[in-house]
Amino acid sequence: MSTLLTQRSLEAICQLPEASGLRLPRRSGYGFRCPSINSAGKGGVSLVYHRIDRGSVRYSLSRKQEPGVVVVAAQQQDCQRLLDEFRQACDTPQGKLETVVDSMVLEMEAGLAADEGCLLKMLPSYVENLPKGTERGVYYALDLGGTNFRVLRAVFRGPGEGCTQESEIFTIPEDLMLGKSEELFDFITSVSSGTLIHWSKGFKVSGTVGRDIVEVLRESIERRNFEMEVAALVNDTVGTLAGGRYINGDVMMAVILGTGTNACYIERAEAVPKWKGPPPKSGIHVINTEWGNFGSPTLPTTFADDELDRESVNPGEHIFEKMMSGMYLGDLVRRVLLKLANAGLFGGAVPEKLTKKGSLVTPDTSKMHADESPSLEILGEILQKKLELDSTTLEQRKVVYSVIDIITRRGARLAAAAIVAVLRKIGRDGRSGNGKARTVIAMDGGLYERYPQFRNYLREAFVKLLGEEAAKNVDIELSKDGSGIGAALLAACHSKYGAQQ
């Protein structure tokens, strides 16, 4: 089998003192200081290798077939150094998280004061009424996430009678996420008013940005001759807030941690200087923060974040989301593993799959992270299945585990800081004002729901940032698919048929 060693790993090998027991094929005219390295100065040299035991590899030059045993200690040192550097770059000690909280609060204030030029859009959601439990009627909610599209049918029976719901989930075909709006909305309908500002999370649908998306949906419903009226268009965070509020009046905030991330919360009307419309009768605004777009020098970004961003469909945008949400965590892991593989993590051979976007996704890395066996067997199986790495040493698997842990921990802790920033903004962080009031955060999203390590890291940082006492008054409650039922409820309370006055 022929493989390519990088110049760096070859140089590292050449620099190893002979005392380390290394036998270099010095007599060879090519040796390790072969002309292709010294003169051309780039790239590697084609070598033949056989694995002889863990941690060491027998190399022979393909030109002269001179064997030389090379202990891969140099590569291991290289990888360890890279891993340590990466861990350090991702570090989020308490003090760092505090600066993230502070800068996010400032950005929230800026976004509430001005329409343009702010990182956080802080969009008032035009939701005048939140559900009261009096809603009636049959509603269909179409919930478009970043991966899944859910259709939900909800029947609300009025005061004290509760509701029933049925739903079905479809995966959005990738070509539609990057295609034309008609195709996407025709897909949606095969199963009021609002304007789409921009797509995030890997969507790039032409013909929608700046258009009234309800109109696009209506056109599609018309093309199919359905008897349906579009009653409301709400952001999924706002849906989750409404769904949570239907059940629990202490819900003040909703967070999505799924394919992407975002949050909305209940703000006092006076705290929104940019609002030029009539003051809302309810005295509140539901503000969609669009926090995925948060970006700040306080964020601990690395080469992997920069690379991922550059190659994304929305470079320079949604930097915060790209550090933590389900769409990206797995790919960040892949990028770091690729760098380590180039430094010799897998013995000089770089698995072809590792170079391909999409070969490792968050559900894979979360399964690997859940492996508690001392030999990291499950992690090894996933490496084999997803990256075609046929045999790995425990040392290598431990490195992979560390990379996943570092990235997940960073993401979860940043998510915690963002939640605390919102609580601080509304005086529910236990430091001021309503500190003693009970506060519930409605959480929706596959990442939070299905990734226990992420959840635990988030919770740990959250309690530390708030302080144990204050944290006792705040609950994060999973509101599974709350966004769909919440949207149906909002349709009910904003529809001429639904609200019981």
Q: Summarize as ranges the residues that interact with ligand ADP (CB under 6 A).
A: 145-148, 258-259, 326-327, 362-363, 366, 445-447, 450-451
Nearest distance, CB of residue 481 and ligand ADP, angstroms: 8
Structure tokens at 421: 């920033």
Nearer to ligand ADP, 362 or 396 (CB): 362
Q: Is 258 in the site for Mg ion (CB under 5 A)?
A: yes
Nearer to Mg ion, 348 or 486 (CB): 486
Q: Which does 366 bind (CB under 5 to 8 A by kind): Mg ion, ligand ADP, none?
A: ligand ADP
Q: Is 300 in the site for Mg ion (CB under 5 A)?
A: no
Neighbour-count burial of 153, counting CB atoms closer than 10 A to its CB (0-12 exposed, 13-18 middle, 19+ buried): middle
Separation between Cα atoms, residue 103 and residue 106, nearest integer Å: 5
# residues near Mg ion by CB under 5 A: 2
Strand partners for 287? 124, 265
Distance of CA 26 to the CA centre of its chain: 50
Nearest distance, CB of residue 337 and ligand ADP, angstroms: 17
Nearest distance, CB of residue 258 and Mg ion, angstroms: 5
Give the burial string for 280-312 (b: 16+ CB within 10 Å, else e): beeebbbbbbbbbbbbbebbbbbebbebbbeeb
Separation between Cα atoms, residue 158 and residue 479, nearest integer Å: 21
Q: Is 482 in the site for Mg ion (CB under 5 A)?
A: no
Asked whether the beta carbons of 84 and 380 are under 8 A apart, the reply is: no
Structure tokens at 129: 């009424």
Nearer to ligand ADP, 79 or 333 (CB): 333
Nearest distance, CB of residue 483 and Mg ion, angstroms: 5
Nearest distance, CB of residue 145 and Mg ion, angstroms: 3
Nearer to Mg ion, 135 or 236 (CB): 236
Nearer to ligand ADP, 77 or 453 (CB): 453
Q: Where are the alpha helices (DSSP H) in 212-315?
A: 213-223, 236-247, 303-310
Nearer to ligand ADP, 86 or 454 (CB): 454
Asked whether the beta carbons of 293 and 302 are under 8 A apart, the reply is: no
Nearer to ligand ADP, 280 or 363 (CB): 363
End-to-end CA, the chain:
76
Q: Which does 451 bind (CB under 5 to 8 A by kind): ligand ADP, Mg ion, none?
A: ligand ADP
Residue 111 backbone dihedrals phi, psi, to 5 degrees: -65, -30
Q: Which does 103 bind (CB under 5 to 8 A by kind): ligand ADP, Mg ion, none?
A: none
Structure tokens at 17: 């003192």
Q: Of 29-37, 93-101, 142-150, 466-474, which segment contacts Mg ion by CB under 5 A?
A: 142-150
Q: Is 145 in the site for Mg ion (CB under 5 A)?
A: yes
Distances (CA, A) of 202 to 18, 38, 198: 51, 43, 11
Nearest distance, CB of residue 481 and Mg ion, angstroms: 7
Q: Residue with the closest Cβ to ligand ADP?
A: 145
Nearest distance, CB of residue 479 and ligand ADP, angstroms: 11
Nearer to Mg ion, 6 or 147 (CB): 147
Nearest distance, CB of residue 28 and ligand ADP, angstroms: 49
Nearest distance, CB of residue 260 and Mg ion, angstroms: 8
Asked whether the beta carbons of 269 and 285 are under 8 A apart, the reply is: yes
Q: Is 44 in the site for Mg ion (CB under 5 A)?
A: no
Q: What residues numbered 51-90 form the site for Mg ion, per CB under 5 A?
A: none
Asked whether the beta carbons of 428 and 465 are under 8 A apart, the reply is: no
Q: Is 344 in the site for Mg ion (CB under 5 A)?
A: no
Spatial neighbors of 344 by CB under 8 A, at least 6 apart, are 5, 6, 9, 12, 72, 74, 75, 76, 78, 79
Nearer to Mg ion, 92 or 147 (CB): 147
Q: Is 326 in the site for Mg ion (CB under 5 A)?
A: no
Asked whether the beta carbons of 172 and 150 are under 8 A apart, the reply is: no
Nearer to Mg ion, 194 or 427 (CB): 194
Spatial neighbors of 95 by CB under 8 A, at least 6 apart, are none
Q: Is 260 in the site for Mg ion (CB under 5 A)?
A: no
In the complex, the residues that contact Mg ion under the rule CB under 5 A are 145, 258
